[in-house]
Structure 1
Amino acid sequence: MDAGFGVVSSMKAADLFLPITIHLWFLYYLLLYCVGAFLLIRAGRLCLPEGVRSIPTRILGSLTMIPGGTLLLCLPLILFLKNTAGLLATGVTFIPEPTSFFAYGFIYLCGWSFWSQRTHLDRLKSWPKSIGSILLTLILYLYWLEFFLQWIGLPAGDLTRSTCDTLGVEIPDRETSMWIGACLSALMIWNGIWGFLGLCLLITNREIPRIRYIVDGSYWVYIIHLPFTVLIPGLLVHQSLGAFPKFFITLGLTTLIGYLSYDWIVRSGVIGKILNGRRWPRALGKAFKNQDLAPLDAPTP
């Protein structure tokens, strides 16, 4: 640890504070999407009638109602992901990485459309459909991983060979593997979205205070977790513990610090209002007991 502090002390400030978004890349992308959406809405209200402005959201929403609609939703993702064989590379610079930026942007646009047409999502409230979609996502992942590894130069895996033998076709070349990987990745993304969205709709069809508290605090935990996931393993480096105990100790302490700081510092303050839309009282104890969580600015009867 002393050696580590010596290395850090010898570094320049520019090396310690790099101009990157680090783990906040998702919030940075989300900020860009929201600003872009706001500007488009303002421009649309000035230039286009309501009927024309609503066409994109109505089209995207209606795709969930027709057979094969998911395949059509996959097409833009396939085009975005084709150069990486379906891999969504995280962009951490302030200049967005094109593949992830446009892929996540399209998913954001779809989510925006579905939010205004939430009745379409009622069709997802089915245990067989949700479980089936999640299982299919896992199967697609296994196939995608094989084609992705082949695209980066590794030999074809056993799953690819057995599938090609069964179908009576040759093992695809690198370029074909790139397109197959992009197609499988797009299908995997949408099946995962439908499966987990349906599962959430099924198990959270009523207000559950404990879940509500975890969701409210998740943004804050996400924002502050990285320094602790670096510091805590450093403190445990000389302890005679295995990798898994150290992992779970780091996970537990980081989660504990995150939610305690959220409850004591953030939840009832200005930051809490920014993250959650309004100020809430400290309620960690109520959340453990699954009791009702009342906002500080809720109207009194």
Structure 2
Amino acid sequence: MTPHTAGAGSGSARTRIHGLDALRAFALLLGIVLHSLLPFAPEMPWLVNDTRTSPAAFVGVYVIHLFRMALFMMLAGYLGRMVLTRRGTRAYLRDRTVRILLPLLAFWPVSVFSLGVLATVAAAQGGGAAPEPPPSDAPPVLLMFTPGQLWFLLVLFEVVLIVLAARAALLRLLGPDRAGRWSARIGGLLAAPGGVLLAAVPYAAALMVQGTDPAQGINAPVTVLPEAAPLIGYLGAFLAGWFLHASPGSLARLAPRWPLLLAAAVLGTVSMLLPVAAGLPLAVGSGLVALTGLLWTYGLTALMVKVFSREHPAIRYLADASYWMYLMHLPLLVAIEVPLAGLDWPVAAKLLLNWVVTTALLLGSYHLLVRRTALGRWLNGPRRRPAAVLPTGSRGT
């Protein structure tokens, strides 16, 4: 998912969109913030529950959960088509296998399996009950090997396979030229002032298929088996990014609208937090949640592209480090929070201590063990010279 270069202007322009570096770092690091807030969010059972709670932590978790994964998937779709048009389908699939599927398998023992041990320790110290397996009809062996917080890698890989299969069929049916024109038209609609409404449709459909309270968002899968709601919702977000890339200059057209998009996202979020929102019919609630989440996604994308119009070395560094940081963060967060859970400290002090220690360990390990090593090349791909560019011309869908 590394945005080495991208076309922001016309189809012939070759210029890096530096805002995508910021967006990539933001989408992944926001997951770390979300998991750090969960111990303090009232009525949200977690691996370790702190004795101190905060309504602000609940609101923070709620808002981040609204859009973070849709934002990540839309960015993955935009960058995915960028890689495919530059390197071809086989190279793209090989790249996604190496950098998405294999890290899921390789990092699962330390990133996911270790959490059960930490949760048991937390329960023994009075920091909450050890987590029970989520209700599921799946065989127990599948629940034992849950993808945990790395579920998004599994869903993303499933989405990639679906998109590549559908693309191959459409290219045979329509031909590259017609398929390319249709892709550009869809991208143009998505980048239009009302395009966020179109982008929100799959997310709303996913919430209706799921059938639970839409305010909870799309539930993460608890096994490796494909589930309809995550696939529908995140396939839609991925395709939104895919088609936006197919329309030259789409992000440049979105960028000036960031204040309006984010203002609408805030209004939607406030309305969802009001008591009356709990009584909305499923279809209405699903539409409101989906639209609000995509407004955040569009608004933050537009803001990043607008603000980060030139290269910032610190942002580039964080973008490169963010994948490693996300893969390794949760055991650290939980291990640090376990001894803090019973202390009568302010929530802000506990969060600050956890953030400082976790960030120092994650960035330090990335710089020393990952950045200039084979591990870094595996996770982020080969580091390219700043002058390197990616073409933005369309190659079919």
TM-score, normalised relative to structure 1: 0.72
Does residue 1:186 correspond to 2:314, yes or no? no
1:218 is paired with a residue whose SS is helix
Letter in 1 for 2:323: Y
**Cα distance per residue 1:5-56 (max 9 Å; x no partner):** 997xxxxxx99x9211111111111121223333334444555511343365
> Which residue pairs with 1:122 in the alignment?
252
Does residue 1:25 correspond to 2:129, yes or no? no
**Structure 1 residue 177: Cα displacement:** 2.5
Q: Measure, in 1, the Cα distance between the counterparts of 2:225 and 2:145.
A: 10
Letter in 1 for 2:252: D
Taking the TM superposition and a 5 Å limit, the aligned residue runs for 1:30-109 are: 30-45=156-171, 48-54=174-180, 57-66=183-192, 68-82=194-208, 83-86=211-214, 87-109=217-239
Letter in 2 for 1:142: V
Does residue 1:255 correspond to 2:359, yes or no? yes
Q: Is the 1:84–1:182 contact (alpha carbons within 8 Å) kept by the matching residues of 2?
A: no
Q: How has the CA–CA distance of structure 1 residues 147 and 85 changed in structure 2, closer, same or farther, with 3 Å as cutoff?
A: farther
Identity %: 27
**Structure 1 residue 91: Cα displacement:** 2.0
Q: How has the CA–CA distance of structure 1 residues 5 and 241 changed in structure 2, closer, same or farther, with 3 Å as cutoff?
A: closer
**Structure 1 residue 124: Cα displacement:** 1.8
Q: Measure, in 1, the Cα distance between the counterparts of 2:273 and 2:227.
A: 22
Q: How has the CA–CA distance of structure 1 residues 139 and 88 changed in structure 2, closer, same or farther, with 3 Å as cutoff?
A: same
Q: How has the CA–CA distance of structure 1 residues 277 and 74 changed in structure 2, closer, same or farther, with 3 Å as cutoff?
A: same
**Structure 1 residue 101: Cα displacement:** 2.2
**Cα distance per residue 1:228-269 (max 9 Å; x no partner):** 111111233465533321222112211111111111111112
Q: Is the 1:273–1:279 contact (alpha carbons within 8 Å) kept by the matching residues of 2?
A: yes
Q: Measure, in 1, the Cα distance between the counterparts of 2:342 and 2:197.
A: 52
Q: Measure, in 2, the Cα distance between the counterparts of 1:180 and 1:139.
A: 16
Does residue 1:197 correspond to 2:301, yes or no? yes
**Structure 1 residue 113: Cα displacement:** 1.3
Letter in 2 for 1:62: G
Q: How has the CA–CA distance of structure 1 residues 271 and 232 changed in structure 2, closer, same or farther, with 3 Å as cutoff?
A: same
**Cα distance per residue 1:117-155 (max 9 Å; x no partner):** 2412211222xx21221121111012223478624xxxx
Q: Measure, in 2, the Cα distance between the counterparts of 1:141 and 1:256.
A: 33
Which of residues 266, 271, 292 is equivalent to 1:143? 271
Q: Measure, in 2, the Cα distance between the counterparts of 1:273 and 1:243.
A: 38
1:125 is paired with a residue whose SS is helix
Q: Which runs of 5+ in 1 are unaligned?
A: 8-13, 152-175, 281-293
Q: Is the 2:207–2:229 contact (alpha carbons within 8 Å) kept by the matching residues of 1?
A: yes
Q: Measure, in 2, the Cα distance between the counterparts of 1:136 and 1:67.
A: 13
Q: Measure, in 2, the Cα distance between the counterparts of 1:73 and 1:5.
A: 41
Q: Measure, in 2, the Cα distance between the counterparts of 1:274 and 1:89.
A: 30
| Alignment coverage as a number of residue pairs | 250
Q: How has the CA–CA distance of structure 1 residues 64 and 271 changed in structure 2, closer, same or farther, with 3 Å as cutoff?
A: same
Q: Measure, in 1, the Cα distance between the counterparts of 2:318 and 2:292.
A: 27
Q: Measure, in 2, the Cα distance between the counterparts of 1:76 and 1:148.
A: 25
Letter in 2 for 1:141: T
Farther-moved stretch of structure 1 (235-244 vs 222-231): 235-244
Q: Measure, in 2, the Cα distance between the counterparts of 1:89 and 1:5.
A: 25
Letter in 1 for 2:179: R
Letter in 2 for 1:231: A
2:300 is paired with a residue whose SS is helix
Taking the TM superposition and a 5 Å limit, the aligned residue runs for 1:169-248 are: 176-237=280-341, 239=343, 241-248=345-352
**Structure 1 residue 183: Cα displacement:** 1.5
1:137 is paired with a residue whose SS is helix
> Which residue pairs with 2:104 in the alignment?
none
Letter in 1 for 2:278: Q
Q: Measure, in 1, the Cα distance between the counterparts of 2:195 and 2:157.
A: 29
* CA root-mean-square deviation: 3.1
Q: With CA pairs under 8 Å and 6+ residues apart, which has the higher RCO, 1 or 2?
A: 2
Letter in 1 for 2:295: N
Does residue 1:269 correspond to 2:373, yes or no? yes
Q: Which runs of 4+ in 1 moved over 6 A?
A: none
> Which residue pairs with 1:4 in the alignment?
121
Q: Is the 1:23–1:92 contact (alpha carbons within 8 Å) kept by the matching residues of 2?
A: no
Letter in 1 for 2:222: V
Q: How has the CA–CA distance of structure 1 residues 272 and 148 changed in structure 2, closer, same or farther, with 3 Å as cutoff?
A: farther
